Structure formats: structure tokens, C-alpha cells
Structure 1
Amino acid sequence: MAKTIAFGHKSGLKRVLGRKDLILLFVVAVANLNMVPPISASGPLTLWLWILALAMFFWPQGAAVTELSQKWPGEGGIYLWAKRSFGEKHGFLAGWCYWLSNVFYLPTVILSCIGVGLYVGGPNVQRLEHSHLFTGSVSIGIIVFLMLLNIRGLSLGKWINNLGGAGTIVGAALIVLLAALTVRHHGSAFHWNQLHQGITDWRFVAVFGTICYSLIGLDLASIMGDEIQDPRRNLPFSIFWGGLAAGAIYLGTTLAMLIAMPQQDIGILSGILQGINIMASHTGLLILVAPLAFLECIAILGTASAWFSGTARLPFVAGIDRYLPAIIGKIHPKYGTPYVSLIMFAILSSLLIGGSFFGSSVEEGYLTLLDLAVIMQLVPSAYMFLALLKHALNKQSELKAAKPYLIANCVAGLSATTLGLAVAFVPSRQVSSVWIYEVKLLIGCAIVFGTAYFFYRRSLAHAHQTVLLEVTAADAS
């Protein structure tokens, strides 16, 4: 017997996110500056891919989130939308992939933060970047800090997000300013004619999936729908302005990296600080390096906190719905937060940090985690665009935007998502051991889909057993 669950569950969470909080949340969640170095390392042609992804994926994402968050407001976001559109099985799969993608992604954000911090310490300290013991232990320490902060509540945790958003905006503006001064006083490693060069390495296409992934985040606030003040009014406004700022930041900082140094010299983990240091040297503004490094660390910590706090709500809602053990849906008696879900997220991310380094360097471990996150995240994105398409084609649906506009965004978003999923399995040029890379991706995907199947079948079996007990009790009476 299929399990039926009411959609109108009560989360019991507090509404603490206002309009300013949401705009900064979108900036820090989407505009992750730690994503710029691995993308910029593929060369100037990535600028064309940025423009393509912004038009074909990012704008449609904003249209989808704006429409669906008004039709189905509440805690859960993509999980809720897929569930309402295609049934419980698909909703669970979408939410599971979304959650686990960020279990994979959180360590990459933290490793990037460590790389930036070590870069400031000079060549002797930078050697620690290649130490598995050092990077692993510090990463786990940061995860524990974020876990404790978010257990304390969004009323406190949101300030890390806000500081991260402000740090991202100010830091990106200063980086672009340094790039402009570098071009004026020293010249550029980037030349416009490079945009017309052909593709010399077919693995270049792999970066498109990473770019699409880096633009995900406009749906993050919808996952915390029950914690937003007046979501029907504040979400659309914040999505537009936060998304506009994030897109500008990505284009500006990618161009700045290419101006600073040749693509082959860009470091995967500390590339942003590397570019800042070079541009500051060329312009005589070395005094800016330390403040920018500090802003970058704050921005990355804000990104980590935003995804940590937001994504942890998905297993919490699934716990309420009894797809996962009910204990995961528990709320802290004092702080009113999903503390069990947050603890579980922290434990899994910590375990993945250690496993990602097996048989590879720290940089390859970073890239493997990143590509696993790309694959897992684009699956729920496909569900989001399909849910919007079904909603737009339903004659009984009350649409907030024009039907042709919504359908066009669905087609564009699905096309970009499909392409991004396909090229995510293509190893980038920084990967030396292709077979280890591919094996890790396949094992990671098998674990994700296998555990999703296990927990969903478990929930059905539990529901069936519950119904039998109720029927037996009714017959006995």
C-alpha cells in the first residue's frame, strides 16, 4: 500500500529572514568566489560559457523559483515542488540529491577557505595546502563551528551569511578595480582576440557543468520558506536583485583573473588571492592584499554557512514526512532549530573530506568533490524545470507570469541542465589520473541513488506495516 502524507505539515520554525537578509543570502549562496579559479583555469573562452549559462540557466532558474515559490510556499523548496508535481517518490529523490550534493560541496568551499588563508602566510605556510592531515583537521574544525552556530539558530547564523554577502560584494568590487588599474598601468594577460580562438582541448566543455552549478542558489531561500518574513512579497524582489548582483560578480571576477595571469598559472584552491597579489604588485597596492584576503575568507565562510543552514532543512522536512527516521525531524527544545539534521550534515561532510583525498592530491580531491556535487545538484534542477513546465501547461493553474515566458524558460533551463549533466563526467585538464576520477564519480553516484532507493523503500515498508497494525487493531475492536 502506498504511503500518503499530508502536505500541510507544520515545521514549528521561526520566521527570522527579512528582505535584506534574503538579498545577501542569494549573493553569498550564488556568487561563490571559490568557484572562479577552477573555471578561469579553462581560459578566456569560459567567458562565452558564462554568458550562455547566465542566459540559458541562471535567468530560467530565477523565473522558475519566483513562480513555484509563490504557488507552493513553505519549507522544502525543490523537494516540495517535485513532490507536489510528480509524487512522493520523485520529491524524495529530488530532495535527497539536492541535500547530498551539498554534503559533497561543503568540503570544497571549506578547502577553498583554507587555501586562501594559507596563501596569506607566504611560501612556507602554503606548503600545508598539500598536507592531507592539516587540511582535513582544519576543515572538520570549521564544519563543527558552523554546526554549533546554526544549531544556535538562524537569528544568529544569518549574520555570518550577511557578512559573507557583504564581503563578497566589496571584495569583488575591489578585485575588478584592481584589474582595471592593472590593464591601465601594466597591461593584461588576457587579450580580446583570445575570445575568437578555437577549442584546442575537447575537455574544455567539462567546465560548463561547473558554471551551471556555480549559478545554483536562487532556490536556497525557498528551502527555508517557513523561516522567511512575508515570502510572497520578499522572495521575488530579493531573487531579482540578488541574482543580478551575483551574475555581475561572476563575470567581473572571472575577467579579472584572466587579466591577472595566464590560465595555466591559476591555482585551483588559492587562485583568487594569487590573482589579487599579482595585480596588487603591478599597481603598487600590495597594502590591499591582506584586507582582500580577510574579505575573501569571510565571503567563503558565509557561503559555507548559507549552504549548511539551508540544505540541512531538507532531511529535517523529510524526517517530518517520515521518509527518513523521525528523529531527524526533531527541533531543538531551546533554540527551535533542526539540530539533528544539522549534526548529520556535519558528520557526513567530515567523512567525505577524508575519503576524497584517497589516491589523489588535495587539488584532485577538491575537483572530484566538486564534480560529484555538480551531478547531484543538476538532477533536482531538472525536476524544478519539469515542475514549472507541468505547472505552465496545466490549464487550471493560476500563473503569476505569462505562459509563453514560463515555457521558454523551461526549455532553456532543461537544455542547459541536460548539457551540464553530460559534461560533468568529462575530467578537466587539471585531473592527472582519469580512471581514479571516473571511478570516484561512479561510486559517488551509486551511493547517492542507492541510499535514496533504500530510504524510500524503507519508508513504504514502514507505512505498510503501520496500516496493517491499524487495520488489525480496528478488526479486534
Structure 2
Amino acid sequence: MSNIAKSAVKLSVFSVIMITVTSVDSIRNIPGAALFGSHAISFFLLAGLCFFVPTALVCAEMSTTYPQQGGVYLWGKETLGPNFGFTTVWYQYAENIVYYPPLISFIVATGTYPFFPELAQNNLFMLVMINVIFWALTLINIFGLRLSSIITNVFGTLGLIFPILLIIGLGGYWAYTNPGESQISLSHVSDWLPDFSQSGMGASFTAVVLSLTGLEITTAYASEVDNPQKAYPRALLISTVMILVSLTACSLAISAVVSSDRSSLSEGVILAFQTFFDDLNMPYMLPVIALAIVFGSLASLNNWIIAPTKSLHVAAKDRFMPITLSKENKNQAPVPLLLLQGAIVSVLSLVFILVPNVNQGMWLLNILMTQLYMVMYVCIFISFLVSRRKHHDIERPFRVPGGKFGMILVAALGLISCIVTIFVSFDVPSGMSTETGALGLILGFIAFSLPALGAIAYRNRSKQNYCELTEATVN
């Protein structure tokens, strides 16, 4: 009966498009991409074709082939075993944890700049606020006092989608009325082509790629449309165009009015809005849009606080961790995992007192987050190739188009783009020591990889103890 009911309700192509766009589109990573100036056009196009589209196609096939609960953990487990599955989901979990401090830094800087600009770049203030905000939201989730879905949707629309549309509109109007004051030029062919000579190009490219991640969550809806083999690629094509156009336009709007030496990950967006509103003699609108972005980002953060821990629950059933860590309270909140997550975020926030300024701390965490994320995507592409070979007879409601050639092309583009992103990400922004930045990134990557090795060793030891106990009982 439930299967019939489920199959009777199908999503329209428009619904899938909106789910994809609202899940991926975000204004937070745009200031990093804006450092490319006019060259952002070609870099977004390059990242879109080589990373975003292959990722969407592969994740759509994997999510419809293995529709059971478990996500990327299940994909890895079904193809290369539980250990590989846990490795995949761990890097997804680790990436989410590293994501929190930069996001909260963006929220704090955006909210304080219109009122107390000096606090937006105060390291100690940022450290305190990251911990206050994250632990407050953690406690809210533990005690079950979450924002209602209606409030979250409203905040998400006003604080995420509306600012993107507004900055594009204001940027276009400003460019039309101030043609000679732009910080960038689009009058020559070279302005549109990639420029690989820029200092810190690798870090900026990671910001471009990072702004196109997260699609593995939304592809679960591929099977919820009629005729997914035809409808989903159409939805994907339209979503890709909308996302690339909106992100590129936002990037150009910021880079046109905020010079690269003034821009920062935390303040780039609000500095652009300040220029636009000053030009319109509407400075009083700056606090309004700042608070809208803050509310929208807080709604997004609140939704993600508990999300990564859910993916570990499935892995916990395969004995990758002590079962006590995954226990839930009466509100179905995994309290031990949430507390552990909060402790890790608090440790990560200390980076803001180890670097000269807030912007450098955000850059390091952003790059580390991207590196961890790329490892997860590498695991997904490997699972995809193994799945095609190992489970070639299984039903696949959606297949990557192009037969064997399409499979190889999509996987190759995805794997190469992930590896290249990891490699170039060590080209840290100017003003940051390359050696110090690279050392910090390597140590951070090792630190977040060790728990995965520990969990696998724990599971192997548990299996061995179980086998020994069973053998002793039989004898």
C-alpha cells in the first residue's frame, strides 16, 4: 500500500530544479571566486562541465540504484565493502564539521559589519562567537526546540535566495550607471579566458568548486520524477545553467565593486552591498540585508547541525564505533555525537587565534573542507565504476547516458577534477605563507583521516572478538 502511495506522488521537473538550485546555490563562497574577476566566467564553466555535471549524473545513478537509507555509506558498502563505505561517509562527515567555523565566521562578520566594522576582523571576538552560536544551536537540537520548517523555509528564502537575486540585480544596475568605475573589464577576449598566472589561483579555484558541491544530497529525488531517464537530465541541465549563471553573476557583481585587496571571505558580500546601497543613497538598507543573510545562514546552519550525525548511525550498526556514541534521547537527537561534534568545532575554532587575521583562518578551513570533500567524491566515482562492473545486472532507474563511453568519460572527468582541485588548493592566497599554509592543511587532513583508520581498526577488533567468543561458546 505504501509503495503504491509513494509511486503515485511524482515530482515535476520544476520541483527537482528548485530542490537542486536551492540546495546548491549559496552566496557564502562567492567572495573567494570573486578574486578571479572576469576570469570567474571561464572557471565556473570549467568546474561546471568537469565536476558539477559528472557528479550530478553519477550521484543520480547511484542514489536510484541503491535507494535504501544510507547514502554514500551504502554506495561504498555495496560496491567495495563496509570499510570503504565508512571511509566515504567519514570524509563527508569530516567536511561538514570543518564547514561550521567558516560559515559562522561569515554569519558573524555579515551581522556585525554594518554596526561594528572593527569586530568583523577581530580574531578573539570571532573565536568566542563561533563557540557561542554553535553550542547554542547544538543545545537547541539536543532539547528538540528546532525552528519549525515554515520558519526555516522563510529564513532560507529571505536570507539565501533573495540576496543572490538582489546582488545580481544591483550589480547589473551599478555596472550600467557606473560604466567607468568597475574593477574588472569584459571588453577583451582575454578577460573571458582562464588566467592561471594569478597568485593564489588554486585557493580561488577551490572556492569555485566548493560552491558547486552538495549535490549528492539532492540526487535522491531523481527516482521521484516520471521517466527519470529523460526527465532528470533535463532538470539537471536547467539546474546547472541556473546555478552557474547565478553564481558567476554574483561573483562578477562583487569583483566589479570590491577590489581584490579589499575583499575577504567574511566581508566580501557585505562590502559589495554597501557600495550598491551607497550609490543609491540608501545606506539604511545595509543592516536590513545583513540581518536577512544572517537569519538565512542561521537557518541553514541549524538544519545541518544534526544532519552529519545521522549518516553515522547506519555505520554504527556495522560496529564502526561503540554503540553508546550513537544513542538518541527522547527527541531522537544523538546526544553523544552532537557533543563530540561540538568539541571538535571548538578545537577547530582555535585556528582564528593561530593566524594573523580572520580572513586567513577562513581560507585555511575552506581549503581543508574542500580537500576532505574531494576525497569523498573520489570514493563516489570509484564506487560508481565498481558498481557498473560488479552489479551490471541490477535495475538502474537512471543511467549515466552514453553507454560505456559515457560511463568512462563522466568518471574520468570527475576523478581528474577532484584530484586537480586537491593539488591546486595548496596554492594559498597571497598574504599567507605557502609553507605554513601547506603544513597546516597537511596536518589538518591527517588529523581528520586518523579517526577513519581508528574506526576501521575498532570494527576489525570487534569482529575478531565476536568470532573468538562464538568459537569459545561452540566448543
Range of TM-score over shorter length: 0.7 to 0.9
Match of 2:96 in 1: 102
Cα distance in 1 for partners of 2:145, 2:243 equals 22
* Corresponding residue of 1:91: 85
- Which digits, 9 at most, give the CA deviation of each residue in 1:215-238, with x for residues without a partner? 11112357xx7xxxx883169789
Whether 1:135 aligns to 2:122 is: no
Superposed displacement of residue 243, structure 1: 5.8
Q: Which whole-Å CA distance do the structure 1 matches of 2:268 and 2:156 have between them?
A: 20
Name the TM-score, length of structure 1 as normaliser. 0.85
Between the aligned partners of 2:262 and 2:301, the Cα distance in structure 1 is: 26
Q: Give 1:53's aligned residue.
A: 47
Indicate how the Cα distance of structure 1 residues 59 and 151 shifts in structure 2: closer, same or farther if over 3 A, else same: farther
1:104–1:372: 8 Å Cα contact kept in structure 2?
A: yes
| SS in structure 1 at match of 2:183 | coil
State the AA in 2 paired with 1:74: Q
Matched with 1:75 is: 69
Cross-structure match for 1:7: none
Distance 2:272 2:466 in 1: 60
Match of 2:368 in 1: 372
- Residue 174 (1) aligns with residue 166 (2): yes
Alpha-carbon distance in 2 for matches of 1:154, 1:398? 41
Kindly provide the amino acid, as one letter, of the partner of residue 254 in structure 2.
M
Aligned counterparts of 1:25 and 1:145: Cα–Cα separation in 2: 28
Amino acid at match of 1:383: C
Residue 264 of structure 2 corresponds to: 267
Per the alignment, in what secondary structure is the counterpart of residue 436 of structure 1?
helix
Equivalent position of 2:448 in the other structure? 448
Alignment of 1:426 onto 2:417: no
**8 Å CA contact retained: 2:199, 2:430:** no
2:277 corresponds to which of 280, 300, 312:
280
Q: Please give the per-residue CA displacement for 1:354-393, whole angstroms capped at 9, x wherever unaligned.
A: 2453243222111111111111110010111222223344
Provide the C-alpha distance between the structure 1 equivalents of 2:364 and 2:165, rounded to a whole number of angstroms: 30
- Using the TM superposition, give the Cα deviation of residue 435 of structure 1 relative to its aligned residue in structure 2, in angstroms: 2.4
Structure 1: state its 5+ residue gaps: 1-17
Distance 1:348 1:67 in 2: 34
Within-5 A mapping of 1:20-419: 26-27=20-21, 29-121=23-115, 125-151=116-142, 156=147, 158-159=149-150, 161-166=152-157, 167-187=159-179, 188-192=182-186, 193=188, 194-196=191-193, 198-201=195-198, 203-220=200-217, 232-233=223-224, 240=236, 245-333=242-330, 335-393=331-389, 394-399=391-396, 400-401=398-399, 402=401, 403=403, 404-419=405-420
C-alpha distance after superposition, 1:17-36 (max 9, x if no partner) = x9999877754542231211
What is the CA–CA distance in structure 2 between the aligned matches of 1:197 and 1:447, rounded to whole Å? 34
Alpha-carbon shift at residue 176 of structure 1 (Å): 0.7
Instruction: Give the distance between the partners of 2:383 and 2:81, measured in 1 at CA.
Output: 11
Letter in 1 for 2:320: Y
Q: State the one-letter code of the partner of 2:301.
A: A
How far residue 274 of structure 1 moved from its aligned partner, in angstroms, is: 0.2
TM-superposed CA distance for 1:257, in Å, is 0.7
Name 2:5's counterpart in structure 1.
none
Deviations 1:98-145 (A, max 9, x none): 111221111111111111011111xxx221223333111111121123
- What is the rounded CA distance, in whole Å, between the counterparts of 2:337 and 2:453 in structure 1? 19
Q: Are the counterparts in 2 of residues 185 and 283 from structure 1 also a CA contact under 8 Å?
A: no
State the 1:202 CA deviation. 5.2
Q: Deviations over 1:47-100 (max 9, x none)?
A: 211111111111122112211111112333222211211112211111111111
Q: Distance in 1 between matches of 2:16 and 2:334?
A: 20
Q: Report the TM-score, using the length of structure 2 for normalisation.
A: 0.85
- Checking the alignment, whether the CA contact within 8 Å between 1:172 and 1:249 is kept in structure 2 is yes
Counterpart CA distance in 2 for 1:99 and 1:23 is: 26
Q: Which amino acid aligns with 1:175?
A: I
CA shift for structure 1 position 174: 0.8
Q: Which piece of structure 1 moves more, 200-209 or 167-176?
A: 200-209
Contact 1:76 1:314 (8 Å CA) reproduced: yes
Amino acid at match of 1:388: F
CA distance in 2, matches of 1:467, 1:157: 47
| 3-state DSSP of counterpart to 1:45 | helix
In structure 1, give the amino acid aligned to 2:356: S
Distance 2:20 2:121 in 1: 32
Q: Which whole-Å CA distance do the structure 2 matches of 1:151 and 1:160 have between them? A: 19
User: Any idea what SS the aligned residue of 2:38 has?
Assistant: coil
1:323 to partner: Cα distance: 0.2
Report if aligned partners of 2:203, 2:367 keep a CA contact under 8 Å in 1: no
